[in-house]
Amino acid sequence: MSQSNTAPTPPSAPQPALIVLAGATGALGLLIAHQLRRRGAAVRALVRPESSHKAEAESLRLQGVEVVSVDFSNAPALTAACTGASCVVSALSGLRETIVDAQSRLLDAAVAAGVPRFIPSDFSADFTRLPEGSNRNFDLRREFQRRLDQAPIQATSVLNGMFTDLLTGQAPLIQPGIRRIVYWGDADQPLDFTTMVDTASFTAAAALDSTTPRYLRIAGEVASIQGLRTIASNALGHEFKLLRVGSLDFLANMIRLTRTLMPARNEVFPPWQGMQYMHNMLTGQAKLSEPLDNARYPDIRWTPVQQVLAGLK
Ligand SMILES: NC(=O)c1ccc[n+]([C@@H]2O[C@H](COP(=O)([O-])OP(=O)(O)OC[C@H]3O[C@@H](n4cnc5c(N)ncnc54)[C@H](OP(=O)(O)O)[C@@H]3O)[C@@H](O)[C@H]2O)c1
């Protein structure tokens, strides 16, 4: 039998999955890109032309992310940019022109390019059961959700409650200066908190998992206002007390008044929007239903609220 002198071709290494990421220059998007690279994915970031020279875009390139400058209103270019992806992840943030309009164009492009899966930019408390009008930003998400659920693509939303990171600044609940936990309504209502890094890590794992359901619900920690009092006291080494400002109806009236006096219609997070978020959480209407999906990717270690609050020391 004659022997071939041709060396056997080594089996070619499997190509890493390609994830297309929109909003990659944003706070959460940068973290998702990093976590995707950590998990070995090839990442293509779709960046608006005016942002493709920003420091964030450069930092993406340094991490091995393919940065594609694309005009979101150019459908053929957006479709070409989505081609080959196993999942399109959106971490866009904005109002109607972004959450409904730009995200819909991205969705159309993903479908046209034959991408099988889409993760929308939800990353929030559970807005699915909230009444229309109770939170402007959630109304926009539900409007996009209706389009997404009609589209021939597998969709997965990641719902994570409030970013724990906000407890050290933007969210007014913890007031270290006066050593108070400020709240409205019931101090025993459970609230969901997840750090941005943990949300990004979970989202990256979900983007690479072709078996995800329509919704994934995660909470790094579930804590009531009473629970936050203990956690803040332990984290900062002195006793916090509760300060109940009033009922949830009182908060609703404050929201209406603030919105009338300071409408700031073009801001994504004006003060009344943050207050709407607090109202949705404190009523329990936006509480994530159990069981949570925290254990889906066992390598993820959830950051406790106390660890984040320790940063206030
Ligand atoms: N659960 C919570 O507590 C919580 C808190 C904050 C945010 N979030 C959510 O997390 C997600 C990401 O928010 P973020 O804070 O990371 O946002 P961000 O830092 O403001 O970044 C927004 C990203 O969207 C891009 N973008 C905005 N408008 C666009 C448009 N019209 N067309 C194309 N790209 C556009 C921006 O690109 P450029 O660089 O070109 O501007 C940027 O990459 C959002 O869904 C947000 O609601 C949740």
Q: Do 23 and 147 sit in the same domain of this protein?
A: yes
Q: Which atom of ligand 1 is nearest to the CA of 137?
A: 47
Cα–Cα distance, 103 to 301 (Å, whole number): 31
Q: Per the omega criterion (within 30 degrees of 0), is the bond before 291 cis? A: yes
Q: How far, in Å, is the centroid of ligand 1 from the Cα of 240? A: 33
Instruction: Please indicate, yes or no, if residue 10 is contained in any of the structural domains.
Output: no
Record the tokens describing residue 212, joined without a space: 């995800």
Q: Are residues 151 and 207 in the same domain?
A: yes
Distance CA 293, CA 218 (A): 6
d(CA 259, CA 257): 5
If asked whether residues 126 and 229 sit together in one domain, one would say no
The answer to whether residue 235 is domain-embedded is: yes
Give the residue numbers spanning the domain of 79.
Answer: 18-160+194-220+287-298
Q: What are phi and psi of 180, to 5 degrees?
A: -130, 150
Is 116 a domain residue? yes
Residue 202, pLDDT score = 98
Domain identity same for 227 and 278: yes
In a domain, 102, yes or no: yes
**Based on the domain organization, do 101 and 244 belong to the same domain?**
no
Q: Is 109 part of any domain?
A: yes
Cα(30)–Cα(65) distance, integer angstroms: 10
- Please give the helix or strand (H or E) that residue 77 lies within, else none: helix 75-82
Residues 126, 150: one domain? yes
Give the three-state DSSP class for 206. Answer: helix
The per-residue pLDDT string of the chain (313 residues; one tens digit each, 9 = 90 and over) reads 344 455 566 667 778 899 999 999 999 999 999 999 999 999 999 999 999 999 999 999 999 999 999 999 999 999 999 999 999 999 999 999 999 999 999 999 999 999 999 999 999 999 998 999 889 899 999 999 999 999 999 999 999 999 999 999 878 899 999 999 999 999 999 999 999 999 999 999 999 999 999 999 999 999 999 999 999 999 999 999 999 999 999 999 998 998 889 888 888 888 888 889 999 999 999 999 999 999 999 999 999 999 999 988 8
Same domain, residue pair 172 and 122: no
Indicate whether 213 and 235 sit together in one domain: no
Report whether residue 58 contacts ligand 1, using a CB cutoff of 6 Å: no
251 φ, ψ (degrees, to nearest 5)? -65, -40
Nearest CA to ligand 1 atom 8: 123
User: Residue 8's pLDDT is what?
Assistant: 63
Sheet with 191-194, side-by-side order of all strands: 162-163, 191-194, 221-223
- Any idea what the CATH number is for the domain that residue 105 is in? 3.40.50.720
HEC string of 9-72 equals CCCCCCCCCEEEEECCCCHHHHHHHHHHHHCCCEEEEEECHHHCCCHHHHHHHHCCCEEEECCC
Whether residues 228 and 291 share a domain: the answer is: no
| Cβ(173)–Cβ(245) below 8 Å | no
Number of C-beta neighbours around residue 237 at 10 A: 9
Under a CB-based contact definition with an 8 Å cutoff, are residues 43 and 37 in contact? yes
- Are 32 and 121 in contact by the 8 Å Cβ rule? The answer is no
Atom number in ligand 1 closest to CA 141: 45
**Are both 131 and 258 inside the same structural domain?**
no
Q: Are residues 199 and 250 in the same domain?
A: no
* Ligand 1 proximity of 121 Cβ (cutoff 6 Å): yes
| Tally of structural domains, the chain | 2
The answer to whether the CB of 193 is under 6 A from ligand 1 is: no
Residues in the chain: 313
Report the separation in Å between the CA atom of 92 and the middle of ligand 1, taken as the mean of its atom positions: 4
- How far apart are alpha carbons 14 and 44 in whole angstroms? 18
Bridge partners of 46? 22, 68
If one residue of 20, 25, 28, 31 were mutated to test the ligand 1 pocket, choosing by the most ligand atoms within 8 A of its CB, it would be 28
Query: Do 239 and 208 reside in the same domain of the chain?
Result: no
Which runs of consecutive H residues, i.e. helices, occur in 11-53? Answer: 27-38
Judge if the beta carbon of residue 305 lies within 6 A of ligand 1.
no
Q: Which tokens sit at 199?
A: 């949300």
Q: Decide if 208 is inside a domain.
A: yes
